[in-house]
Amino acid sequence: MLIDNHGRKINYLRLAVTDRCNLRCNYCMPAEGINFAKKDDLLTTEELKRVSKLLVGMGIDKIRLTGGEPFVRKDLMELLRFMAGLNGLHEISLTTNATLIGPHIDELKRLGIKNINVSLDAINKATFERITRRKNYDVVYENLLRLIDEGFNVRVNFIVLEGQNEQDIIPILERMKAYHVGIRFLEEMPFNGGSKSFQKIKWDHKAIFNHITSHYPDYIKLESPATSTSINYGINGHKSTFGIIPSFSRTFCGSCNRLRVTAKGDVITCLYGKPKANVRELIRSNGDQEQVAVAIKTAIGSRAKTGFEAQQEHESKVFENSMTSIGG
| 290 Rama class: left (phi>0) / alpha (psi -120 to 50) / beta | alpha
Give residues 5-34 in contact with ligand SF4 (rule: CB under 6 A): 21, 23-25, 28-29
Answer with the entry of ligand SAM, ligand SF4, none that 247 interacts with (C-beta below 5 to 8 A by kind).
ligand SAM
**Site map (CB under 6 A) of ligand SAM, residues 49-88, x = contact:** -----------------xxxx-------------------
With respect to ligand SAM, which residue has the nearer C-beta, 93 or 269?
Answer: 93
Residue range at the interface with ligand SAM (CB under 6 A); choices 36-44, 95-103, 203-211, 233-241: 95-103
Please give the residues from 214 up to 233 whose contact with ligand SAM meets the rule CB under 6 A.
Answer: none
Q: Considering the rule CB under 6 A, would residue 186 count as an interface residue with ligand SAM?
A: yes
Q: How many CB atoms lie within 10 A of CB 36?
A: 18
Tell me how many degrees the CA angle 99-105-155 measures, rounded to the nearest 5. Answer: 65
Binding to ligand SF4 by residue 97, rule CB under 6 A?
yes
Q: How many contiguous H segments (helices) and E segments (strands) does the chain have?
A: 11, 14
Subset of 130-159 contacting ligand SF4 (CB under 6 A): none
Work out which of 26, 96, 127, 311 binds ligand SAM, going by CB under 6 A.
Answer: 96
C-alpha 189/C-alpha 201 separation (Å) is: 9
Taking the least distance from each CB to ligand SF4, the nearer of 311 and 324 is 324
Binders of ligand SAM among 10-49, rule CB under 6 A? 21, 27-28
Half-sphere exposure of 298 (CA within 13 A, CB side): 11
Measured from the CB atom, the residue of 14 and 276 that comes closer to ligand SAM is: 14
Kindly tell me which of 117 and 232 has the beta carbon lying closer to ligand SF4: 117
Q: How far is the CB of 158 from ligand SAM (least distance, A)?
A: 8
Residue 192, interface with ligand SAM (CB under 6 A)?
yes
Nearest in space to 293 (alpha carbons), one of 45, 2, 91, 8:
2
- Dihedral sign for Cα 62, 68, 71, 77, please: negative
- Rounded to whole angstroms, the Cα distance separating 137 from 127 reads 10
Count of alpha carbons within 13 angstroms of residue 295, beta-carbon side: 22
Type of residue found at 213: T
With binding defined as CB under 6 A, does residue 191 bind ligand SAM?
yes
Sites of contact with ligand SF4 (CB under 6 A): 21, 23-25, 28-29, 67-69, 97, 119, 323-324
Sites of contact with ligand SAM (CB under 6 A): 21, 27-28, 66-69, 95-97, 119, 157, 159, 186, 188-189, 191-192, 247, 323-324, 327-328
